[in-house]
Amino acid sequence: MRKCRCLVFICLCFVMCCALSACGGQEASQPEAGRIDTFIIGTTAEISSAKRSVYNFDVLTGTLSQLAPVWVDADGVYHPLLCTYSTEDSRTWILTVREGMTWHDGQPVSAADIQFTLEYLDSQNGGGYADSYEDIRLVDERTIALELAEPNPRHLASLTTLRILPKHIYQDVTDDSALPSDEANIGCGPYRFVRFDADAGVLAFDAYDAYPDGQPMVEHVLFRLFDNEDTMYMALKSGEIDMVYRYSSGVSTAVLEDLQRTEQISLLPIRNTANSAVLIFNNQVSPFDNEKIRQALACAIDYARFRELFGSPYALASEAGFIPPGTYGYVQTQTLERDLQLAAAYLQEAGCTDSDDDGYLEYQGQPLCVEVMVRDDKPVHARYAELLMNNLAEVGIAVQIDVQEVAAFRELTEQQHAHAAVITGLTAFGMAKNQGLAALYLWGENSMSYGQVYDEDYKALLDQADAAANMEEYALVAAEIQQYYADTLPAIALFWDSHIQAFNSRYSGFVEDGTFGLLNVQTWFSLQAE
C-alpha cells in the first residue's frame, strides 16, 4: 500500500496548506522572520500504530508532545523540562511541575499524574517504576517527593525518558489499545498529536497554543516513514524532507560522501555516549567464561578495518574500558589494537589446540566455534559479524552467525539468556541506566543483561556506585569500573563514532540533547530558516 505514499502525502500537504491559507476570507499573514510553517523529518523507524506501547512512536513523541520531567544536554548537565527538581541528600528528590503546564485537553498537569504514571507503568511492565522508590509522597498539587532506598546522585538519568501520563485519561485503562488515538496521545509538550496515517506513512503534530514557554518556531511537524534508507536520502537531497532522524543513531556511513557533495545538505557530528557497535559475551557460557579466550578475541579483531569500513570520518579507536569519551566519569584505558601473536598466546594459555592441523582450534575436546547472534532489522550488524568471522578465522576460531527476528532476539537474549555472544548497539540512555557505565547490559541480574556477569568484584563496584553521595564520589568508582572492564573484557567496543546528523542547509539553531540528539523540545524553540 506504500506505493501510493508520495501521492497521498502530497495531497495531505495540499489540504494542510489550503487550510492554513484560509483565514477569515483574507490572505494569511506571513510568518515572522526565521519562523517555519512546516518542518518534515524522514525516518526509517517502523511504526505500526500511534500507541505509547509502540517503541518508535514513544521515542518520537518524546521529542514533541510527551514530556519527561527533565532533559540532559550534550555535556551531561540536567535541566528542567516538565518539572523543576531539587535534592539535599541524593536520596529524596523533589519534583515540581512547572507553572502553567497543561495537558492538551486543557487539564492542568499535576503531581498526582506523576505518581499515577509510576504506578501505572509498574502494573503494565511488572515493576521497575514506583516499586523502585521506598516512598512516594504528594507534597501539594504540583509537587511530589520521590524517596529512594539509598542515595543516588545520578537519579535524574532515569527521568529523562519517563513520559508522564494524564491520570484523568488513563486511570481506568488497562489496555491502551482500547483508547482512541486522540485520547491516548494527549500530551503536555509544545506540540499536540494530530494524526497517524499508516498508508501514507505520515505522523503529524501541530504547535500547542497554551504551552507556557510560548509558541515554538515551527507550526507543523511532520514525520515521513520510509521503507528504506536509499529512498529517504534521495528525498533529503531533493528537498522533499528537511532532515533525517533515527534515535541513538546517525547517517549511514555508506552515504556520507554522497551527502557531503550535496550543497544543500549540512552534516553535523554530535557527541555519542552510546556504544554503537559492540561485541558482548555471555560470560557464563563456554568458551566465554574463560577470560583468556575473551582476551584472545580482543587481540584478534581488526579494529582499524572496522573503523574504515563502518565508521564515519569522526570514528575513534575504542578502548578496553568499554565506556566512550563524553560519559560522566570517563577515564582513558588501553586502546584496543590487533595483535595476532598475543591472541595466539592467550589461546594457548586457555588450552586450545589444533590437533588435526586443519587451521581451526579445539577447546575442551570440541571445535572452537563461537556463535554470534544479531538482529535481522540491523543489516549492518550482520556485516560486523562477517568481518569478525574473517578476523577470528586468522587465529583458528570459527564463527557461526545467528540472525534472529527482533522479537526472538529479545526473547533469547533478555529473557532466556540463551546466547553465547551478541553484536548489537547500546543507546546512550541504556548506557546511563542503573549505575550507568553499561551496567544495565552487563550485570547478570538485570533483565537486559547480555553480558551475564556475576563476578562479586563487579557487584561490589556497582554497590559503591549506588552508595556514592555525590558525583565526585561516583566518578572515582566509575574509573575503577572501567579498569575492571579493561582487565576482564566482558564486552568489546568495536569502534566509537559520532552520530552524524543530516539536514537541509537552510536551517540552523539545532540544540543537542544528550539523549535524543538534535530532535528535542529545545530545538523547536531555537530552530530557524533562512
Please choose, from the candidates 316, 243, 244, 336, the residue with its C-alpha nearest in 3D space to the C-alpha of residue 276. 316
Domain range 2-17+36-65+189-268, CATH class:
alpha beta
Q: Average pLDDT, stretch 254-266? A: 92
Q: Characterize 121-135 residue by residue with b for buried, 16 or more Cβ atoms within 10 angstroms of its Cβ, and e for exposed.
A: beeeeeeebbeebee
CA 173 to chain centre: 28
User: In this predicted model, what pLDDT tens digit does every residue of 468-502 receive, in sequence order?
Assistant: 888 899 999 999 999 999 999 999 999 999 889 99
* pLDDT range class, residue 355, cuts 50, 70, 90: very high
275-495 adopts what CATH topology?
Dipeptide-binding Protein; domain 3 (3.10.105)
CA 127 to chain centre: 21
Helices 471-488, 456-467: inter-axial angle, 10-degree rounding:
160
Q: What is the pLDDT of residue 323?
A: 97
SS3 111: helix
List beta partners, residue 145.
94, 137
- Please, which residues have CB within 8 angstroms of residue 18's CB and are 6 or more apart in sequence? none
Q: What is the spatial distance between Cα 53 and Cα 48, in angstroms, rounded to a whole number?
A: 11
Q: What is the spatial distance between Cα 87 and Cα 149, in angstroms, rounded to a whole number?
A: 14
* pLDDT range class, residue 6, cuts 50, 70, 90: very low
Inter-residue contact 481 to 41 (CB < 8 Å): no
Q: What is the pLDDT of residue 529?
A: 95
Please choose, from the candidates 398, 394, 401, the residue with its C-alpha nearest in 3D space to the C-alpha of residue 367. 398
Residues in the chain: 530
Whether residue 409 has pLDDT greater than 90: yes
Q: What is the pLDDT of residue 312?
A: 87
Inter-residue contact 512 to 529 (CB < 8 Å): no
Q: What is the spatial distance between Cα 282 and Cα 261, in angstroms, rounded to a whole number?
A: 43
Backbone angles phi, psi at 238, to 5 degrees: -85, -10
User: In this predicted model, what pLDDT tens digit does every residue of 187-231 receive, in sequence order?
Assistant: 999 999 999 999 999 999 999 999 999 999 999 999 999 999 999
Inter-residue contact 515 to 499 (CB < 8 Å): no
- Residue 457's CB is within 10 A of a number of other CB atoms, namely 11
Helices 303-310, 379-393: inter-axial angle, 10-degree rounding:
150
Three-class HEC string of 57-86: HHHHHCCCCCCCCEEEECCCCEEECCEEEE
Q: What is the spatial distance between Cα 59 and Cα 90, in angstroms, rounded to a whole number?
A: 28
C-alpha cell at 84: 523543576
Q: Average pLDDT, stretch 13-33? A: 42
Q: What is the pLDDT of residue 94?
A: 98
R_g of the chain computed on alpha carbons: 25
Q: What is the spatial distance between Cα 396 and Cα 406, in angstroms, rounded to a whole number?
A: 31
- Higher-confidence residue of 246 and 7: namely 246
SS3 254: helix
Q: What is the pLDDT of residue 173?
A: 87
What's the Cα-to-Cα distance from 175 to each of 52, 123, 178, 255, rounded to whole Å?
11, 11, 6, 41
CATH classification number, 70-170, choose in 3.90.76.10, 3.40.1280.10, 3.40.190.10, 3.30.43.10: 3.90.76.10
SS3 23: strand
Three-class HEC string of 439-493: HHHHECCCCCCCCCECCHHHHHHHHHHHHCCCHHHHHHHHHHHHHHHHHHCCEEE
Whether residue 455 has pLDDT greater than 80: yes
Q: Which amino acid is at 452?
A: Q
- Residue 427's CB is within 10 A of a number of other CB atoms, namely 19
Whether residue 460 has pLDDT greater than 90: yes
Helices 340-349, 291-300: inter-axial angle, 10-degree rounding:
160
Q: What is the pLDDT of residue 33?
A: 66
Write down the pTM of the prediction. 0.74
Q: What is the pLDDT of residue 466?
A: 87
- Residue 530's CB is within 10 A of a number of other CB atoms, namely 9
Instruction: Please give the DSSP secondary-structure letter assigned to residue 411.
Output: I
Helices (H) and strands (E) in the chain — how many of each? 17, 24
Backbone angles phi, psi at 127, to 5 degrees: 110, 180
- How much of the chain exceeds pLDDT 90, in percent? 78
User: In this predicted model, what pLDDT tens digit does every residue of 54-71 receive, in sequence order?
Assistant: 999 999 999 999 999 999
Please choose, from the candidates 174, 198, 228, the residue with its C-alpha nearest in 3D space to the C-alpha of residue 49. 198
List beta partners, residue 39.
221
* pLDDT range class, residue 156, cuts 50, 70, 90: very high
Inter-residue contact 436 to 275 (CB < 8 Å): no
Please choose, from the candidates 264, 216, 266, the residue with its C-alpha nearest in 3D space to the C-alpha of residue 527. 216
Whether residue 177 has pLDDT greater than 80: no
Backbone angles phi, psi at 467, to 5 degrees: -85, -5
What's the Cα-to-Cα distance from 164 to each of 192, 323, 395, rounded to whole Å?
14, 30, 52
Inter-residue contact 251 to 259 (CB < 8 Å): yes
Inter-residue contact 62 to 163 (CB < 8 Å): yes
Q: What is the mean pLDDT of the chain?
A: 91
- Higher-confidence residue of 20 and 451: namely 451
Q: What is the spatial distance between Cα 528 and Cα 39, in angstroms, rounded to a whole number?
A: 11
Return residue ranges of the chain for CATH 3.90.76.10.
70-170
Inter-residue contact 429 to 515 (CB < 8 Å): yes
Return residue ranges of the chain for CATH 3.40.190.10.
2-17+36-65+189-268
